[in-house]
Amino acid sequence: MVFKKYFNSILSWSFVFLIASCASVPSGHYILLKKKDNIEKISKEFKIPKWALLASNIGKKFKAGSWIFVPRNSGIFGSYNYSDSKLILRNSNFIWPVPSSRKISSKFGKRWGKKHEGIDIPAKRGTHILAIGDGITVYSGAGLGGYGNITVISHPNGLFSVYAHAQKNFTRKGQRVHRGQVIAKVGSTGRSTGPHLHFEIRLDSRAINPQVLISSSN
């Protein structure tokens, strides 16, 4: 399923909601600082000078719980092409979204000559679907084509999780959710051949293989 044509508006709304940004924002990502994070550690991890981090976060404290902007291209401050894996590795505590079903009926990659941008997890209709991590619901509804009832959650570090074909959604746009919270029930709405969860993880608008980040044993 092609999601990108819908995703840009969701991504824009999420960015504005999280940071209440002004009209002009340099390219980069916001990250949520964890325990023991500090400016020295972030500078070393992303290979960005401390002065550039400070200039991009005027008035902010580098302490756990703070959102810090890590620039990719900050105009006069230079350009820093850190690896996306740095962002992905900061979300290493995701859990499996359907604990009662550990099967995958369709994997990430090519399927029927088209790219399948997520994984399909078969489960009984009405089975609970859990948020894989803390975040904010940036979309909850049935207006994204063949996805049926779909929930999109924004997580720290530019990652989004997508839960489609649900029987019922339980969250609303703008609602904060917690890791393990029930956010929907498995269904077969939209273009679906039977009850299952179509699950995606995206770094910005680009789909990545969920199995890189989450094991069905989690």
pTM, two decimals, is 0.70
Residue 90 pLDDT class (50, 70, 90 cuts): low
The residues of the chain that CATH labels 2.70.70.10 are: 92-213
Q: Is the pLDDT of residue 123 over 90?
A: yes
User: Looking at residue 92, what is its pLDDT?
Assistant: 62
Q: What angle do CA 202, 206, 212 make, to 5 degrees?
A: 55
Instruction: Indicate the CATH number of 92-213 among 2.120.10.30, 2.70.70.10, 3.30.1360.10, 3.40.190.10.
Output: 2.70.70.10
The pLDDT of residue 18 is above 70: no
Distance CA 43, CA 108 (A): 34
Each residue's pLDDT tens digit, 161-172: 999 999 999 999
As a whole number, mean pLDDT of residues 61-80 equals: 73
